[in-house]
Amino acid sequence: MSEIPHEQANAALRQADVLIVGGGLSGALLALQLLRLPGKRSVLVIEPRTELGRGEAYSAVELGHTLNGNAARMSVDPDNADDLTQWLTEHIAAGGWPESDQQPAPISELFPPRGLFGEYVQQRLAQAQAVGAVNGSSVEHVRAEAVDLENLAGGVRLTLSDGQCLQGTCAVLATGMFPAARTPQTESSGLNAAALDPWDIAAMRQLDPQSTVLIIGSGLTMVDAVVSLEQAGHRGPIEVFSRHGLLPHVRRQPPAWADFLANDHSIRTPRQLVRELRRHCRDASAQGVDWQAPLDTVRVHIPRLWSQATDVQRRQFVRHVRPWWESHHHRSPPLSAELVARLHGEGRLRIQAASFKGLEPSSGNSVGIRIRRRGESAQCVVSGAALINSSGIEYDWRRVARPLPRQLLARGLIQPGPLALGIAAAVDGAVIDADGHVASRLFAMGPPLRGMWWESTAVTDVALQAKALAARLAKSL
């Protein structure tokens, strides 16, 4: 993948057919799909990282940070569900990932390290680049941060962090996720400044191994943080605080279950869905079948159910169902779940249902936080040697203190999506501006469309969106 230095970008890459803002999974898969299509087109991917295809999620280098889905669920090719399994088979046979034998299972059921998955994405992108070159298509990586975007007559202009500009026929916001632990907030509590990065094992090695570590949030980021602490040699207490005190369930490989939503479109509300799903889970348990089997059939229907729901029904889901949906559906990979379960059983890891209320001044090398335990009205202070923010993803772009989201909102080029989840867009990904107009040259895909589809972050979601959007862009270009 060629890369253009900043000093050459303005002269050499001033014009392109498509500007892709973000070079993580979303941007890489869109570029891949554009390269595979017939026709000649130029694509620029604007990404400050040194590599495309990794982003926040797949830049992890530690083997312990694995995918939370097995290989059979994580193909980047919408037309071949076995693509990752096939790639892993060849990779392992060639001597790659020797640690795979720590997971005694068929290759399709392995949970690869996230860093290895990033390598897989990069190889598939490189193969697509070779295909595109036959038609004269190209993808180039511009290492920079996009800070502003403007509409022009017949195109768009993107401003980079050093003031240089790129022009394109259209642009795609493939910005990926904004992890709360790494994203500046418009209304900051100072939490991130006081907290350790959940994936910074080097920093965790500087802690007293027997010290107490506080973690805010109990989802998959918390699981990653516990893995990081373990690999850093930490052996002290870990206190986890989250509003509902729910842990992610472990991901298993349940047998097939009848898709009860496929032909029953009478189920439209969160209450109806939860009631019917519970019934099927009870039926599964009575038959000796893992309750995850009926739950896994629901996943494919969530975009339809979410998009046809009213705002009132969506709020009901977010308020009453979301915590349980997240813990039951976004499940933990087996090795990580085993570690969390072991530490919990040993009493080293404690989960408490409590809300974070702010930082508390502390002395020495300790850090203090104010919490309010569930069911109590009074706040209390707890302290430890270190604090980790594992509160998940920030989907409200109004709260993201980064230049591009701020400028897009200020210019009225975007508006918040339903319930302020991501940004508003049409079915084909065309962005809807502050006046309700559908853009003709600005599109979005992946996590920014959370409010539109609810589940818009999984690899399969992003891969399907990339294929559809690439066809849409190729047709218009």
| DSSP H helices in 266-347 | 270-286, 292-298, 302-308, 311-316, 322-329, 334-346
Distance in angstroms (rounded) separating the CA atoms of residues 33 and 302: 24
- Token pair 């083997």 is found at 63
Distance CA 178, CA 98 (A): 32
Q: What is the mean pLDDT of residues 164-173?
A: 96
Question: For residue range 328-387, what is the model confidence (pLDDT) as tens digits?
Answer: 999 999 999 999 999 999 999 999 999 999 999 887 789 999 999 999 999 999 999 999
Pick from 160, 188, 233, 125: nearest CA to 389: 188
Reported confidence tier of residue 163, pLDDT bands at 50, 70, 90: confident
DSSP 321: I
Q: What is the CATH topology of the domain spanning 3-65+113-178+395-476?
A: FAD/NAD(P)-binding domain (3.50.50)
Tokens representing 19 are 């500007």
Q: What is the pLDDT of residue 6?
A: 44
CA distance 360 to 196: 16
Query: What confidence score (pLDDT) does residue 1 get?
Result: 52
pTM equals 0.93
Residue 451 reports pLDDT greater than 70: yes
DSSP line for 387-400: EEE---B---GGGB
How many other CB atoms are there within 10 angstroms of residue 441's CB atom? Answer: 18
388: closest CA among 226, 210, 232, 209?
A: 226
Per-residue pLDDT of 218-275, as tens digits, reads: 999 999 999 999 999 999 999 999 999 999 999 998 999 999 999 888 888 888 899 9
Q: For the chain, which residues make up each domain, given as ranges?
A: 3-65+113-178+395-476, 191-249+331-389, 270-329
- Name the average pLDDT for the chain: 93
Choose which CATH entry (3.30.360.10, 3.50.50.60, 3.30.2320.20, 2.160.10.10) describes domain 191-249+331-389.
3.50.50.60
How large is the average pLDDT for residues 448-460? 93
Q: Long-range contact list for 202-209, CB < 8 A, 24+ apart?
A: 202/232, 204/228, 204/229, 204/232, 204/234, 204/386, 205/232, 205/233, 207/232, 207/234, 207/385, 207/386, 208/236, 208/385, 209/233, 209/234, 209/235, 209/236
Average pLDDT over residues 143-171: 94
